[in-house]
Amino acid sequence: MTVETELGNILEWVKSMRRRVHELAREWEDEEGNLIMILHAIQNEFGYIPRGVANELANELGINMARIYEVITFYNYFRLTPPGRHHIQVCMGTACYLKGAMQLHDDLDRELRLLEASGGREGEFQLESVRCIGCCGMAPAVVVDGETHGRLNPSDARTILKQTRRA
């Protein structure tokens, strides 16, 4: 792809993003809590809230960027970075916490850093902590790409990552 084509694609993306932000702002303009609804719609479309889109939204609504970031950072749901290809959720509910979830989370985090440092694709995994996922009998539990793994010990971190990469 030539530089001109690539620039043309970027400009086209910016134009369509602006149009979409404008449409969303009009769609929700008379609704209470419209900023949150618009941010939900943006995240549904982009997978996260890109900075440029947040900036466009601030202009469109005539509000400060700080207000947008206040909302984004207040709710755990909103993401400021693109989601990873694989999604790992470590349960930090009481039962899991008492059975070593923190250690498991730290081990997964360390393994992911090692993986990236050794040439793994950046952003391949998205690691997050969540509250009780409803299977306390399997504590500590982790959900990987929608599949629950339970009764894990810290040394399982490497195995989970290996199996997920192979899938």
152 binds ligand FES (CB under 6 A): no
94 binds ligand FES (CB under 6 A): yes
Taking the CA of residue 153 as centre, how many other CA atoms within 13 Å lie in the half-sphere pointing to its CB? 1
Query: DSSP H helical segments within the chain, as ranges?
Result: 3-27, 34-46, 51-61, 65-74, 94-98, 101-117, 156-166
Cα separation, 28 vs 26, whole angstroms: 6
135 binds ligand FES (CB under 6 A): yes
Contact 92, 57 (CB under 8 A): no
104 binds ligand FES (CB under 6 A): no
Residue from 24, 61, 68, 139 binding ligand FES (CB under 6 A) = 139
96 binds ligand FES (CB under 6 A): yes
The piece of 32-40, 47-55, 103-111, 133-141 that touches ligand FES (CB under 6 A) is: 133-141
133 binds ligand FES (CB under 6 A): yes
Contact 164, 156 (CB under 8 A): no
95 binds ligand FES (CB under 6 A): yes
93 binds ligand FES (CB under 6 A): yes
144 binds ligand FES (CB under 6 A): no
Cα separation, 128 vs 125, whole angstroms: 10
Binding positions for ligand FES, rule: CB under 6 A: 91, 93-96, 132-136, 139, 141
